[in-house]
Amino acid sequence: MTTIHEVASAAGVSISTVSYALSGKRPVSEKTRLRIEDAARTLGYEPDAGARMLAGRRTHIFALTEPLRADTHAPTHMAFVLATAVAARRRGYDILLLTDEQTSDGMNRVAASRLADAILVLDVAPDDERADIARSVRTPTVFIGIPNDPQGLTCVDLDFEAAGGLAVDRIADAGHTSVALLGQTEVSYAKSNFPRRLLQGVAERSKVRGLTLTTVTTGATTTDVGAVRAAVDAALDRGDRAFIVHAVGDVHEALLETLDSRGLRIGVDVSVVSAAASFDTTTLPSPIDTIPLVPQRSCELAVDLAVAQLESPRPAPRIHLIPPEYRVAGSLVPARE
């Protein structure tokens, strides 16, 4: 069996330099690293997962970077983590979960050590620092989400703009001339890209269809049920009878409770569409038309794209948008004259 001493001798470096180059624990010049990798490959030295990759074999591990912050909505994020793990296991890969709040640290460690065959990125921020890392490392990387600058990246996500536009079209087709959007928390619009994209789709389509649009955030960092109820009351008082909800289940429930307290029924007096819902809306007290955000669809495609990137030649990076699907539950009512 080849030893690290033999690799160091063949590459003309110290044992510690070989260790640093193959583990990524400390920086080594590109020229020296390549010489060490060539020696390790030639001699068949395989001390760990990184060296196995040098020998042409995969580790069958995907790293999943998912920062868990104080404002993270755990049920939604864990649904994506689970969907990714299931999809990866189906393709013969295990998941190494990186939950560092400083997301770049874990991603850099994995890329340097080459422990994982590919990296999957969740909870994508508008100016996500992981985008620059993905563009600079050799490890294939797929984003489940889209940063502001997707140049050179492979991304997959629901077409949130189209989902917002589809919700507006159904409201407008029912004859409504105004609509209220109950959106995400304020911090979500600051730290995530998808709420902005859905809002943009709603705003642009409302303008095209001639609808008066009112948008409401539903709390600062977490859902404020009292603020939601006040916003619904205000919308009803000004005559709105159509709502688009892009928020967590608590917001949906607060809307339903407020409507009930005023003697209004969904699908009879008021129209409601849940846009890009990541939870099962059939568990709500009243049926609601839904444009679902299905974690399995995004995550399975992301895993397939990661596997494809491991093949030769590697596909060109691009954005893969999943078309929205409208599920009817009877929550739309024709607007009254």
Whether 4-54 shares its CATH topology with 61-157+296-318 is answered no
Q: Against a cut of 0.75, is the pTM above it?
A: yes
Amino acid occupying residue 289: D
Domain 4-54, CATH number (from 1.10.260.40, 1.10.1060.10, 3.10.20.30, 3.50.50.60): 1.10.260.40
Give yes or no for residue 56 having a pLDDT over 60.
no
Give yes or no for residue 102 having a pLDDT over 70.
no
Query: Residue 250's closest CA among 78, 81, 125, 75?
Result: 75
| pLDDT score for 95 | 96
Question: Token match 């709040």: residue?
Answer: 101
3-state secondary structure of 159: coil
Burial class for 328, CB neighbours closer than 10 Å (0-12, 13-18, 19+): exposed
Average pLDDT rounded to a whole number, residues 116-136: 93
| pLDDT score for 48 | 56
Delimit the domains of the chain by residue range: 4-54, 61-157+296-318, 160-292
| pLDDT score for 55 | 45
| pLDDT score for 37 | 84
The DSSP code sequence of 260-308 is: HHTT--BTTTBEEEEEEE-S-GGGSSS--EEEE--HHHHHHHHHHHHHH
| pLDDT score for 21 | 78
Give yes or no for residue 79 having a pLDDT over 70.
yes
Is the domain 61-157+296-318 a CATH 3.40.50.80 member?
no
Residues linked to residue 266 through DSSP beta bridges, in sequence order: 270
User: In this structure, are residues 260 and 284 in contact, taking their beta carbons and an 8 Å threshold?
Assistant: no
pLDDT band at residue 177, thresholds of 50, 70 and 90?
very high
Average pLDDT rounded to a whole number, residues 313-337: 92
Give yes or no for residue 54 having a pLDDT over 60.
no
Measured between alpha carbons, how far is 306 from 143 in angstroms, rounded to an integer? Answer: 10
Give yes or no for residue 157 having a pLDDT over 70.
yes
Six token digits for residue 162:
């189209």
pLDDT in tens, 237-289: 999 999 999 999 999 999 999 999 999 999 999 999 999 998 999 999 999 99
Domain 160-292, CATH number (from 3.30.70.890, 3.40.50.2300, 1.20.210.10, 2.102.10.10): 3.40.50.2300
109-113, 186-190, 313-317: range with highest mean pLDDT: 186-190
Write the DSSP symbol of residue 238: T
| pLDDT score for 106 | 87
| pLDDT score for 105 | 84
User: In this structure, are residues 67 and 101 in contact, taking their beta carbons and an 8 Å threshold?
Assistant: yes
